[in-house]
Homo-oligomer: A and B are copies of this chain.
């Protein structure tokens, strides 16, 4: 079992996997509403309606895994983006591999805090890994994702410990 230390989550480091949702990642800031609002514009683009899909907003309440974080499988949604935005300032871990044929040697881990992520369609990712305490995340994805989910299971020799 190899071990990965999470990297800092930056738009550049994460570009192959998706977008970082954070005011610090904004490429365009508009002043609107007679000066009362700054719009950090289009931090992420949604693609949720392929094959008649419908975009929905949900909340995921994530319980931290007990003990060390060990990655045994990843999943992907080939038809749609999926965004996670933390509703607290608690840190969490994002584990991903690039879209396309699954390659366990290309798994990366990022440590996020006060930042959301929007996975590109097809990005392999672990389910949401809250740290410390039960944490809520706003999720923007596609209705009926049970028909839009592939799973890649790692051989035990390829399991990855995050830490």
Tell me the A residues contacting B by CB distance below 8 Å. Answer: 21-23, 26, 32-33, 35-49, 54-63, 65, 83, 85, 87, 116, 118, 127-128, 136, 138-140, 143
Whole-angstrom CA separation of A75 from B35 in the bound complex: 16
B-side contacts of A26, CB under 8 Å: 59
Min CB distance A28 to B, Å, is 9
B-side contacts of A32, CB under 8 Å: 127
**Mind listing 11 A-B residue pairs with CB under 8 Å?**
A21-B138, A23-B59, A23-B136, A26-B59, A37-B62, A41-B56, A43-B59, A44-B57, A45-B56, A46-B48, A48-B55
Given contacts A42-B56, A46-B48, A46-B56, 12 further A-B contacts (CB under 8 A): A21-B59, A38-B60, A39-B58, A39-B139, A41-B56, A42-B57, A43-B56, A44-B56, A45-B54, A57-B116, A85-B85, A85-B87
